[in-house]
């Protein structure tokens, strides 16, 4: 089962041993498949998301299959705003994030020489590697700016922050 509790997702992960790779990969693929069958398809999953405190995640985008084992990002280029980034641990939630268009991934047990990821693959790799450090979607989300001051929000309007709460119950709350 994919964890949704923030505290549980912020666990410290230890390195994966070579003999653990296959078992963790199978568990991750099984959960990713079950999530898709339940109507929540995803393109990546990290071991901490299924309660395994190990530095491994998988990326499955169409015919691209990458296992990130004890990997890290060495270099990152071309910072961009990525719209609608989601996470299987927070179903239905999407955020605007700041990511890099290109990342160089090193120390990957599966690809020891490393590799370069670009575009969506780069974003997914950054997201999954964040999980291995206890960094969650909410940590990298860009706060939504309120609309121009000329538009006054009424108490029952949706809050400008995207919380899906009424303004009066969120940022319009009187302390």
Residue 126 tokens read as 């950054």
**Which residues are tagged catalytic?**
128
pLDDT in tens, 54-113: 999 999 999 999 999 999 999 999 999 999 999 999 999 999 999 999 999 997 777 668
Domain-wise residue ranges, the chain: 6-140, 147-175
pLDDT at 149 over 70: no
pLDDT at 175 over 50: no
Q: CA end-to-end span of the chain, whole Å?
A: 39
CATH 3.90.45.10 fits 6-140, yes or no: yes
Say if residue 100 is exposed, middle or buried (CB neighbours under 10 Å; 0-12, 13-18, 19+).
Answer: buried
């Amino acid at each position: 089962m994919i964890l949704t509790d923030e505290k549980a997702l912020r666990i410290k992960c230890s390195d994966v041993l070579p003999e653990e790779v296959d078992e963790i990969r199978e568990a991750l693929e099984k959960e990713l498949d079950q999530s898709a069958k339940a109507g929540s398809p995803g393109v990546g999953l990290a071991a901490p998301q299924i309660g395994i405190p190990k530095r491994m995640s998988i990326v499955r985008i169409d015919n691209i299959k990458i296992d990130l084992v004890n990997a890290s990002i060495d270099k990152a280029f071309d910072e961009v705003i990525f719209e609608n980034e989601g996470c299987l641990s927070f179903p239905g939630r999407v955020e605007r994030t700041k990511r890099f268009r290109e990342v160089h991934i090193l120390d990957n047990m599966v690809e020891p020489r490393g590799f370069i990821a670009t575009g969506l693959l780069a974003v997914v790799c950054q997201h999954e590697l964040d999980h291995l450090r206890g960094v969650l979607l909410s940590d990298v989300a860009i706060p939504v700016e309120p609309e121009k001051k000329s538009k006054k929000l009424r108490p029952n309007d949706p809050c400008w922050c995207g919380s899906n709460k009424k303004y009066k119950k969120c940022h319009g709350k009187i302390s």
